[in-house]
Structures are given as structure tokens and as C-alpha cells.
Structure 1
Amino acid sequence: MNQETAELPCTTRHFSVQLSPTPRGARLARLLATEQLRSWGMPLDPARQIVAELSANAATHGRVPGRDFRLALYASPDTLRIEVTDTRPERLPAPQLPSPEAESGRGLILVEALAHRWGVTEDQFPRKTLWAELSLTPPEPVPPGSGTTGAFPQET
């Protein structure tokens, strides 16, 4: 008996756009990403917030006059990857808690909290790419009575 197995093609969707490193370009990145995710039938949050934060970083800290930043979205069946590439490779970001009075400086802390994974890739000079990944598969349910129902260990 000859059994054939059909493999489903693994499709990765891709969207990429170059934008001016300005507040207007960062806003346009969020709007374009929202519409692209909507057209793919994908959940909008928290991807919209991550795009907004990474694009604002590119417009604020990665700005070089005359050089654009690039937004790219890659969607596979189980992961959404968001990439923002700017032309300031010497300014590698690191999340830091700002003072309570500061009006900015919390973007990467939000990205760290919202994304399942994130990082920075040094690219061909003069570029760097900040990326974040979101899992599109729901987490496995925790069986009742497993003792992992909260953030704190249960007392015995």
C-alpha cells in the first residue's frame, strides 16, 4: 500500500516600506502596518504598539538627514516578526528605566514587555535593525492543580 503525504506549503508573508525618519514617518509606519496586518487577517495588538515604539526610536535616535528608515513585517503561520532598520549603527539601544519625571524613554521597556523575543542586529554599515517577534499560536493551557496559577510560588 502506497501512502502519500501532502505537505502544506509554508507561506511567509512579507511587507516592507522605507519612510522618512520623522515623527510623521513613524506615524505612517504604524498606520501602514495596521492596514497590512488587517489585510492579512492578523491580530493588531500588540504589533501596532511595537511598530510605533520601534519606528519612533528610528525617527528620534536613528535619524541621519537624507537617510530613511525601513519597516518590514514577516508573517509565518506561527510568528510575526517586526523589523525597523535605521542608519545609526553606533547607537545600539538598551532598555533603561527612566526617572519617574521623564516624559519619554520607555519605548524599549514596552517592546520588551509586549514581544515574545526582541533584539538588535548589526547590519552592513551603516545600518542596524531592531526586531521583535510575536507568537501567533496560543500558549498551551495550564492544567488545573499544577501549582503554576500565579506569579508567586504557593506556600506549602
Structure 2
Amino acid sequence: MTAPAGSSPALVRTFTQRFSCTPRGARLARQLALVELHDWGIPESTALSGDAGLLVAELAANAVVHGRVPGRDFELRMTLLEGVLRVEVSDARGDRRPVVRLHAHQAEDGYGLRIVEALAAAWGVQDRLIGKTVWAELSVRAAAVARMRQMVVDGEIDFNGRGVNRGA
């Protein structure tokens, strides 16, 4: 697939995976998100990767704690489109809406959405036929976008963000 002459290739990446609605599933979601971002040219050592990993961890943990329905998984979806990385976590509990709460000093829980609110450029909730999707967006710095665009031009990654096998 090539971009039309005179235009830049669109930087579109997507990753979707279902996980068991357990603490182990939430940890695995974060780990695989970081691996996927690395494959997209966003190394784990970058601020964007760190922020995205934290968003995935918090949203996945909330899905496990507040959105769990026995026998149902939660779904992680990440989309990178030009200057925005969108993280979505869907669960089966549409009746339990996320709320940012003010907590007393030294509260043991309830900080997850405050972290999401602090990191994300925007966040919200969308209803689904079954359950809900909580999403958060991070701004991608122009330098990261330029680096990924150059990786596509150099043939290091394809338009899906996967490394290109150069063979021997």
C-alpha cells in the first residue's frame, strides 16, 4: 500500500485484544500494550509509552474491579491516528459508570480515574449494546509522529506498525 504522490502516509495503528476479567488479565493487558507500542516505534523508555501503560493499567483494573461479569472478558483497544493515541477498555457492566471522586487524605483506593484525568488530554464513557467503553486519549508529540513516519519511509515498519522482515 502506498500513499498518493505528494501526501504523507497516514499513521494508523490498531490493537484489539480480549482478556480475562481478572487481576492477571489486567496485568497482561498492560504488558501487551507496551509490547505493541514498541512494535509501533514507541519504545518503553518514552513518556508516551509510560503514560499509555499507566492508562491501560488503570482502565483495565477498573474493568476488573467494577465492570466484571462472571464469564465475560474485558477488551482493550488502542488506536494511533496521527497525533492521538486512544486507549479504550470495554467491559460488560453498563450499569456501573466511572466517577471521579474526591477522597479523604490517605484513602486506599479510588485514585485510578484521577490518574486517568490527570494524564489524558480527554477521556469519557460510551455505552455499548452490552456494557460500556471507557476511553482516554493521549497527545502524541510531533517528534514521535515524525519518527514513525520515517520508519515507514525507511521500510523499518509497515503501515500496520509491524516490523518488516528483511530476511537474509
Match of 1:81 in 2: 86
Q: How do 1:19-98 residues align onto structure 2 when only pairs under 5 Å count? A: 19-42=19-42, 43-98=48-103
Larger Rg: 1
Query: Where do 5+ consecutive residues of structure 1 fail to align?
Result: 139-156
Determine what percentage of the aligned residue pairs are the same residue.
49
What letter is aligned with 2:138? Answer: L
Cα RMSD, aligned residues only: 1.5
> 1:98: Cα distance to partner?
2.1
| TM-score, reference length from structure 1 | 0.81
Following superposition, which runs of at least 4 residues in structure 1 exceed 3 angstroms of deviation?
A: none
Secondary structure in structure 2 of the residue aligned to 1:46? helix
- Paired residues in the alignment total 134
- Structure 2 CA distance for aligned equivalents of residues 137 and 14 of structure 1: 18
- Structure 2 CA distance for aligned equivalents of residues 112 and 74 of structure 1: 19
Secondary structure in structure 2 of the residue aligned to 1:109? helix
> 1:5: Cα distance to partner?
6.0
Match of 1:135 in 2: 139
Secondary structure in structure 2 of the residue aligned to 1:93? coil
- Structure 2 CA distance for aligned equivalents of residues 8 and 101 of structure 1: 50
In terms of fraction of residues, the more helix-rich structure is 2
Query: Where do 5+ consecutive residues of structure 2 fail to align?
Result: 43-47, 143-168
- Structure 2 CA distance for aligned equivalents of residues 115 and 6 of structure 1: 33
Post-superposition Cα deviations, 1:65-100, rounded to whole Å, max 9, x if no partner, equal 000000000011211000000000000111002222
| TM-score, reference length from structure 2 | 0.76
